[in-house]
Amino acid sequence: MATITDVSKLANVSKATVSRVLSGTRGVKEESRVAVLKAVGELNYRPNVAAQNLAKQASHYIGVVLPSAEATNIANYLPLLSKGLKSFNKFMLLHYASDADDQRRVIDELQDQCEAIIVMGAPSVGPQPANVVHFDNVSIEGSIVSGYNYAFATESACRYVLGKGHRHIALLVDDAKEAASQQMLDGYRSALQNLSIPFNRQLVVEAKNDVEQGLLALINSFTKYTALVVKRDSYAAQAMRLMREFNIAVPQEVSIISLEDSPLASLLYPPLTCISYPTESLIDDCLKRVQSIVEGKPQQIEQPPAVAGRLVARASVTTLA
């Protein structure tokens, strides 16, 4: 008897795509839909609806997919997420994904074990299964999403240091093509434009999975900057370490502000000024969306609301004379 795995192999698509085609879910490419239906006909595949329903009802697991590169940063959110899932008798089934292809593979594997799947970090490109919730990403049209407003956070950070007299602000992003980085750039440009300060591309540095090299490129450049905006507190920690090694005083010569405010922020020297990442709000919103899937009422959102952070002023930003 043919299985969904046989259909996916013959059609050269994922099992999740097969499921979406057979359930009539929107967002599947026409060529993929045709390939699946053709494979179903050739294999005489008949999904066991009763078994699927029974498996779904019996599952007490919610899959959680973490990006390997950001596992340390994101792990801080897991206790709150686990506590929330337990409140409606669900438990985390944790997996890691190294890249977009690995993420798609992990999501496919979890489909048979989990009622819903939470994806943290940047999502893979293309249509997503209806039971996938993207945590902290506002770029997935038609998907179930919870997101931090990185544009607003970056603009707020820049406005704060601009108010302290800084006019040469450097911005460290992960990858300019990635959604959060694009939002950070939007907020950065907006803050500069409001004060008619020209945009200097040399002040925007991409980490490209190597934060230290990105920071070194900025430090070794001849571009003037008196403030630095970063996404993560761990990036700020690396910046402070490197600047000490290069005899650059923080905040006297370079002020630093982050868009996170993890427990690390207050432990750094000087303590780190942040636009606080709204962890609890994002997790609460994510849990509501997971619960809607569990209850059979998934929310399809075309323009998901983004969550704003708040300023936490500490000693890493100084006022220029």
The two tokens of residue 122 are 């940047």
pTM of the model: 0.71
Return the pLDDT at 193: 97
What's the half-sphere exposure (Cβ side, CA atoms, 13 Å) at 17?
A: 25
Return the pLDDT at 140: 42
Sequence letter at residue 298: P
Higher pLDDT, 175 or 321: 175
Separation CA 256–CA 15 (nearest Å)? 46
Return the pLDDT at 210: 92
Listed in sequence order, the residues at least 6 apart from 310 whose beta carbon sits closer than 8 Å to its beta carbon are: 275, 276, 278
Dihedral sign of CA atoms 256, 261, 263, 266 in order: positive
Total Cβ atoms within 10 A of residue 281: 14
| Confidence band of 8 (pLDDT split at 50, 70, 90) | confident
**Per-residue pLDDT reduced to its tens digit, 52-85:** 554 455 468 899 998 887 777 777 788 989 999 9
Q: How far is CA 125 from CA 15, 16, 40, 191, 299, in A?
A: 16, 14, 25, 30, 20
Listed in sequence order, the residues at least 6 apart from 173 whose beta carbon sits closer than 8 Å to its beta carbon are: 180, 181, 184, 185, 204, 205, 206, 207, 231
**Per-residue pLDDT reduced to its tens digit, 204-236:** 999 988 999 999 999 999 899 999 999 999 999
Could you tell me if 48 and 59 are in contact, meaning their C-beta atoms sit under 8 angstroms apart? no
Q: Is the pLDDT of residue 293 over 60?
A: yes
**Per-residue pLDDT reduced to its tens digit, 248-280:** 999 999 999 999 998 899 999 999 999 998 888
Return the pLDDT at 204: 97
Return the pLDDT at 298: 60
Mean predicted lDDT score pLDDT of the chain: 85
What's the half-sphere exposure (Cβ side, CA atoms, 13 Å) at 12?
A: 4
Q: Is the pLDDT of residue 177 over 50?
A: yes
